[in-house]
Structure 1
Amino acid sequence: MEVGMAFRDYNGRISSMDFHKATNYLVTASDDESIRLYDVQNAMCLKTINSKKYGVDLVRFTSHPTTVIYSSKNGWDESLRLLSLNDNKYLRYFKGHRDRVVSLSLCPRKECFISGGLDQTVLLWDQRAEKAQGLLRVQGRPAISYDDQGMVFAIAYGGHIRMFDMRKYENGPFEIFSLGGDVSDANEVKFSSDGRLILLTTSAGQIHVLDSFRGITISTYNVKPVSGNGTLEASFSPDGKFIVSGSGDGSVSAWSIAKGKVAYWSSSDVEPPLIKWAPESLMFVTGSTELSFWVPDLSKSGSLIGAK
Structure 2
Amino acid sequence: MTSSLTELDDDLVRCMSIGAVFSEFGGKIHSIDFHRKDDLLVTASEDDSVRLYDIANAKLLKTTSHKKHGTDRICFTHHPSSVICSSKYNLESTGESLRYLSMYDNRCIRYFKGHTQRVVSLCMSPINDSFMSGSLDHSVRIWDLRVNACQGILRLRGRPAVAYDQQGLVFAVAMEGGAIKLFDSRSYDKGPFDTFLVGGDTAEVCDIKFSNDGKSMLLTTTNNNIYILDAYGGEKRCGFSLEASPGTPIEATFTPDGKYMVAGSGGGTMHAWSIETKNE
TM over 0.5: yes
- The sequence identity of aligned pairs, in percent, is 48
Q: CA deviation at 1:226?
A: 3.9
After superposition, give the CA deviation of every residue in 1:9-30 in whole Å (9 maximum; x if it has no partner).
Answer: 2152011111111111111110
How does the TM-score come out when normalised to structure 2?
0.90
What's the counterpart of residue 111 of structure 2? 93
What's the counterpart of residue 20 of structure 1? 35
> How many residue pairs align between the two structures?
261
Aligned-partner Cα distance in 2 for 1:55–1:11: 18
- Conserved? CA contact 1:185–1:203, under 8 Å: yes
Q: CA deviation at 1:250?
A: 2.9
Match of 2:205 among 186, 189, 206: 186
For residue 140 of structure 1, give the secondary structure of its aligned residue in structure 2: coil
Q: How does 1:88-237 map to 2 (within 5 A)?
A: 88-158=106-176, 159-228=178-247, 230-237=248-255
Match of 1:72 among 87, 95, 107: 87
Aligned-partner Cα distance in 2 for 1:248–1:143: 21
Aligned-partner Cα distance in 1 for 2:34–2:22: 16
One-letter amino acid matched to 2:36: K
Aligned-partner Cα distance in 1 for 2:141–2:65: 26
Aligned-partner Cα distance in 2 for 1:213–1:260: 20
What's the counterpart of residue 61 of structure 2? 46
For residue 6 of structure 1, give the secondary structure of its aligned residue in structure 2: coil
Aligned-partner Cα distance in 2 for 1:5–1:150: 32
CA RMSD in angstroms comes to 1.2
One-letter amino acid matched to 1:169: Y
Aligned-partner Cα distance in 1 for 2:105–2:81: 10
- Conserved? CA contact 1:11–1:31, under 8 Å: no
- Conserved? CA contact 2:22–2:58, under 8 Å: no
Q: CA deviation at 1:52?
A: 1.3
Q: Which ranges in structure 1 are unaligned for 5 or more consecutive residues?
A: 263-308
What's the counterpart of residue 31 of structure 1? 46
For residue 20 of structure 2, give the secondary structure of its aligned residue in structure 1: strand
- Conserved? CA contact 1:203–1:226, under 8 Å: no
Query: Residues 165 and 142 from structure 1, CA distance in 2 versus in 1: closer, same or farther, beyond 3 angstroms?
Result: same
For residue 109 of structure 1, give the secondary structure of its aligned residue in structure 2: coil
Aligned-partner Cα distance in 2 for 1:10–1:39: 15
- Conserved? CA contact 1:75–1:100, under 8 Å: no
Aligned-partner Cα distance in 1 for 2:139–2:278: 36
Q: CA deviation at 1:247?
A: 2.0
After superposition, give the CA deviation of every residue in 1:44-64 in whole Å (9 maximum; x if it has no partner).
Answer: 001111111111011111010
One-letter amino acid matched to 1:162: K
**Which aligned segments of 4 or more residues in structure 1 are displaced greater than 6 angstroms?**
none
What's the counterpart of residue 13 of structure 2? none
One-letter amino acid matched to 1:29: A
Q: CA deviation at 1:208?
A: 0.6
Q: Note if 1:81 corresponds to 2:88.
A: no
Aligned-partner Cα distance in 1 for 2:82–2:75: 9
For residue 42 of structure 2, give the secondary structure of its aligned residue in structure 1: strand
One-letter amino acid matched to 2:37: A
One-letter amino acid matched to 2:259: K
Aligned-partner Cα distance in 1 for 2:103–2:41: 12
For residue 260 of structure 1, give the secondary structure of its aligned residue in structure 2: coil
One-letter amino acid matched to 1:152: V
How does the TM-score come out when normalised to structure 1?
0.82
One-letter amino acid matched to 2:39: N
Q: CA deviation at 1:170?
A: 1.0
Aligned-partner Cα distance in 2 for 1:204–1:224: 9
What's the counterpart of residue 256 of structure 1? 274
Aligned-partner Cα distance in 1 for 2:245–2:88: 20
Query: Residues 179 and 226 from structure 1, CA distance in 2 versus in 1: closer, same or farther, beyond 3 angstroms?
Result: farther
Q: CA deviation at 1:75?
A: 4.7
- Conserved? CA contact 1:204–1:226, under 8 Å: no
What's the counterpart of residue 5 of structure 2? none
